[in-house]
């Protein structure tokens, strides 16, 4: 059709599908990201970006510019694997070589792994125990109420423990919106302490 109107995004040759003047792809990006030009990078962009930065020599954190997990860690799809992998692990393997054992972790000397740092100078292979100790030393260990997925704050846990015997556990579970089993574990001090 000669009179068919095209998407308002420059360079897009797809027909518009709505009153806002966007094609279906750009309209979905507008709804999801608030901007029709924002969204996922093209396939292979993360892989290329990592390769371009393997020789990065700055001392400051090199922050991953693409999507991150809810905890802030960078993930990338590197060919031929299709599943997302830790971008820090991929960078560490490319720069430092393979890990001494598969269970070793790419640890950040800067303590900014949850901020998306992939600076090769900040990465080293460490055991999970050593990496855990580093996180504790950096103050970035997500545990207890500071964990991004925590339903209860440290103050909530202290309050629940103080109510042992004074309030029925089922009532505490309803009050805090958690399971009765969790309340029982907290009151009986069966929750793992960090």
- For the stretch 55-71, pLDDT in tens is 998 899 999 887 777 67
User: For position 194, what pLDDT does the model report?
Assistant: 41
> Average pLDDT, whole number, for the chain?
82
End-to-end CA distance of the chain, in Å? 66
C-alpha 116/C-alpha 74 separation (Å) is 5
User: For position 18, what pLDDT does the model report?
Assistant: 75
**String of DSSP letters for 25-67:** HHHHHHHHHSSTT-SPPPTTHHHHHHHHTTT---SS--B--S-
- For the stretch 148-159, pLDDT in tens is 666 787 788 888
Please answer whether residues 92 and 78 qualify as being in contact, where contact means their C-beta atoms are separated by less than 8 angstroms. no
Overall fold of domain 45-141: Homing Intron 3 (I-Ppo) Encoded Endonuclease; Chain A (3.90.75)
Task: Tell me the β-bridge partners of 123.
Answer: 108
Average pLDDT over residues 188-193: 63
User: For position 89, what pLDDT does the model report?
Assistant: 93
**Would you kindly state where each structural domain of the chain is located, as residue ranges?**
1-39, 45-141, 146-187
User: For position 54, what pLDDT does the model report?
Assistant: 92
- For the stretch 94-148, pLDDT in tens is 999 999 999 999 989 998 888 889 999 999 999 988 888 888 787 766 666 555 6
Retrieve residue 111's tokens: 């303590």
Q: Scan for tokens 């420059």, then name that residue.
A: 10
User: For position 143, what pLDDT does the model report?
Assistant: 60
């Amino acid at each position: 059709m000669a009179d068919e109107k095209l998407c308002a995004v420059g360079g897009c040759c797809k027909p518009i599908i709505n009153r806002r003047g966007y094609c279906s792809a750009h309209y979905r990006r507008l709804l999801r990201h608030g901007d029709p030009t924002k969204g996922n990078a093209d396939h292979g962009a993360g892989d290329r970006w990592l390769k371009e930065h393997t020789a990065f020599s700055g001392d400051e954190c090199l922050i991953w510019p693409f999507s991150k997990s809810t905890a802030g860690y960078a993930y990338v799809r590197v060919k031929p694997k299709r599943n997302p992998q830790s971008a820090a692990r991929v960078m560490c393997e490319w720069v430092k070589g393979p890990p001494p054992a598969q269970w070793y972790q790419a640890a950040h000397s800067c303590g900014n792994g949850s901020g998306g740092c992939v600076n090769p100078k900040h990465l080293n292979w460490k055991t999970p125990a050593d990496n855990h100790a580093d996180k504790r030393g950096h103050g970035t260990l997500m545990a207890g109420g500071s964990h991004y997925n925590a339903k209860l704050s440290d103050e909530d846990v202290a309050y629940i423990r103080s109510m042992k015997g004074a309030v029925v556990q089922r009532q505490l579970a309803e009050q805090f919106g958690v399971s009765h089993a969790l309340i029982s574990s907290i009151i009986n001090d069966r929750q793992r302490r960090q």
